[in-house]
A and B are shown apart, each in its own frame.
Chain A
Amino acid sequence: MRTWFTALTLLVTAATAAPTGAQTLINGAGATFPYPIYSKWFDAYTKVDPEARFNYQSIGSGGGIKQISSRTVDFGASDGPMTDEQLKGAPGELFHIPTVLGADAATYNLPGSPKLKFTPDVLADIFLGKISKWNDPRLAAENPGVSLPSTPIVVVHRSDGSGTTYIWVDYLSKVSPEWQQKVGRGTSVNWPVGLGGKGNEGVAGQVKSTPGALGYVELAYAVQNKLPVGLVKNAAGKFVEPTIESTTAAAAGAARTMPADFRVSLTNPPGDDAYPIASFTWLLVYKEQPNEIKGRAIVKFLWWMSHEGQKMAPDLHYAPLPAPVVKQIEGRIKEINYRGKPLMVAR
């Protein structure tokens, strides 16, 4: 009996002690939207740096901001930039490091799944409930040759708070003063019309099973499930289809006016090829790292992620960062330090 017990104790001690000796465990939490690419990165990264192990909990952007602000994790992740108030509430200076881009696509259920074109004001008025029929003259004017039915438009939106919703309403707020004033932007809003579906799958399921439905889903989800998606007129006046390339182009268009902290909304950016309903998703890290070993591992990962890691993005239907933005991120990574000593090793 006693020998068994001793053996068990030894085993437990060995199991818990072994990883801490060789590996640094870095904990992160936050956004669900980039979770597939993050888990792919963290998995692939074990080969690049066997000494660092990343653990990521996709609990949502709100949770990510909360946890990094109370320093219960080593890095956070968010689909929406932190507000000035939230940044002030954090115990140290937080950096927003863009990782990839995502976009929202308008998907619909119409006979024959025609390629529809939407202007910003038409989209806003549909979601405000001011355009309620598919054969509305303003919708028909942009879509000559498409026979639009006289059925009502059934608007479908996300019911759960999400970064996808944030991007969508951020866009509508920019293109429609009425939306900005009546509804505003947030991860959940008070929708003037429509039904709520839980998650991308809930919205897509609702749209698929309801004739005349119109909803928005993540581009990655729309591509994987081959949903019909609409073209949207961008700030340059061109109708652009949501694709990985046109999403990257949105960030490139905004690169010239990019603020140093990357807390920028990319919706409705300049640029002929830019798809207007796109956004960064960010990792949140402290400028002054509290732990040298962990800090070094995080900085090393950030560099790898913004360079080699970007090549993995398109396979998972995320848009990689454009080169000028990567250049700007490099500068930011070099500023991350431990007690004033930069953690980035020269390369």
Chain B
Amino acid sequence: MRSNLGDRIFRGVLRLAGSAVLLLVLALAAEMFRTAWPAIHTFGARFLVTSVWDPVAEHHGALSFVYGTLVSSLLAMLIAVPLGIGAAVFLAELAPPWLRPPVAFLVELVAAVPSVVYGLWGIFVLAPLMRTWVQPFLGATLGFLPLFQGPPYGVGMLTAGIILAIMVVPFITAVSREVLLAVPNSQREAALALGATRWETTRLAVLRYGRSGLIGAGLLGLGRALGETMAVTMVIGNRPEVAISLFAPGYTMASVIANEFTEATSDLYLSALIEVGLLLFLVTVAVNALARLLVWSVGGAVKVVRE
């Protein structure tokens, strides 16, 4: 193959683009580490294992924020993944053809609603609903579990999880639907030819075939849930505490940065907030790496099925 000037320039441009992404991430991490250094130096490991957040006395511990981010995102995924994939299966496999385009269009539309709108809806509609109906009901039926105890404020971890779930469902649905549509029809036909029912066809031929794509859809949703700020801030109650009950107010990493960054006047305080940002960055990277491993292990399983 003859390499001409055009090819070489093209390769150079692409290399530049590729390395720019990498350099950007590294520069981001380095700069955050540099500005967070006073807090890292002052608080050390205490920052990770305590949850006292007192800007006046300059005691900072981020445990409750890390906990809040992980728990609210986990809750959101527990609700959103079955719902989102279920909706995608309906749209790709079961819905009558005339219904598919309008519903798919609506799903994409919902994905574009700004998060502050969800937040306002959360304060004025969801939180009162949770306080008057959902939380008392859960308290009465599942109240023996420590997860569903305590006074129903309306706002809190559970409400934040639900808002997040509502926000990520459209993402998961839209991507999963594309994945399912990409499953070759021969898979379905083969399963049906073997006498499989519709449920068996969907489960064995379609969902299993598209498994790694579906996990990717879930990951996209998880990414959004981990970093979501405005909507969560408005309904989580913003209380830096680690509480077992899902009714109790909590706090997330993104929320505390958004809330306190503008008025953080002392250097150590600012530095502590940036360390929270660094933690959020690390948690996101760790969660994504874990999920990537999951996709790889599942990817192997898919090959076996295809053989």
Contact = CB atoms under 8 A, between A and B. Distances in A.
Interface of A: 32, 59-63, 65-66, 86, 152, 154, 159-163, 183-191, 194-198, 202, 205-206, 209-210
B263 A160 contact: yes
Contacts of B240: 190
Contacts of A60: 262-263
A160 B261 CA distance: 8
A102 B204 CA distance: 66
23 contacts: A61-B262, A62-B262, A62-B264, A62-B265, A66-B265, A152-B151, A160-B260, A160-B263, A161-B262, A163-B263, A186-B55, A186-B56, A187-B263, A188-B55, A188-B259, A188-B260, A197-B234, A198-B259, A202-B233, A205-B123, A205-B124, A209-B127, A210-B153
Contact of A190 (B54, B153, B233, B259): B54
B260 A161 contact: yes
A161 B56 contact: no
Nearest to A189: B56
B304 to A, nearest CB: 50
Determine chain A's interface SS by DSSP, over half rule: loop
B128 interface: yes
B170 interface: no
A187 B265 CA distance: 9
Contacts of B260: 160-161, 188
Contact of B56 (A59, A184, A210): A184
B254 interface: no
Contact of A189 (B54, B120, B127, B265): B54
Contacts of A152: 151
Given A183-B56, A190-B56, A195-B237, A162 B263 contact: yes
Given A61-B262, A210-B154, 19 more contacts: A32-B262, A61-B263, A62-B265, A65-B265, A66-B265, A161-B260, A183-B56, A187-B265, A189-B55, A189-B56, A190-B52, A190-B54, A190-B56, A195-B153, A196-B251, A202-B234, A206-B155, A209-B131, A210-B131
Nearest to B126: A209
B153 A161 contact: no
Contacts of B53: 190
Most buried by B among A32, A65, A196: A196
Contacts of A65: 265
B255 interface: yes
The size bracket of the interface on B is 20 to 34
Contacts of B255: 159
A196 B249 contact: yes
Which 8 pairs show the lowest CB-CB distances between chains A and B? Answer: A161-B263, A196-B238, A60-B262, A159-B238, A190-B54, A184-B56, A187-B263, A160-B259
Contacts of B128: 209
A190 B50 CA distance: 14
Nearest to A169: B56
B292 interface: no
B57 interface: yes
A192 B259 CA distance: 18
A198 B55 CA distance: 17
A206 B151 CA distance: 15
B224 interface: no
Nearest to A154: B153
A189 B249 CA distance: 17
A105 to B, nearest CB: 20
Contact of A161 (B127, B154, B251, B259): B259
Contacts of A32: 262
Contacts of A183: 56
A62 B260 CA distance: 10
Interface in B80-136: 120, 123-124, 127-128, 131
Most buried by B among A183, A189, A209: A209
Nearest to B58: A186
B239 interface: yes
Contacts of A159: 233, 238, 255, 259
A197 B59 CA distance: 22
Given A190-B52, A190-B56, A209-B124, A59 B155 contact: no
Interface string B244-277: 0000010100010011111111000000000000
A180 B153 CA distance: 28
B306 to A, nearest CB: 50
Nearest to A191: B239
B265 A195 contact: no
A117 to B, nearest CB: 26
B163 to A, nearest CB: 14
Contacts of A188: 55, 259-260, 263-264
Most buried by B among A60, A61, A62, A163: A62
Contacts of A190: 52-57, 59, 240
B263 A198 contact: no
A198 B233 contact: yes
Contacts of A197: 234, 238
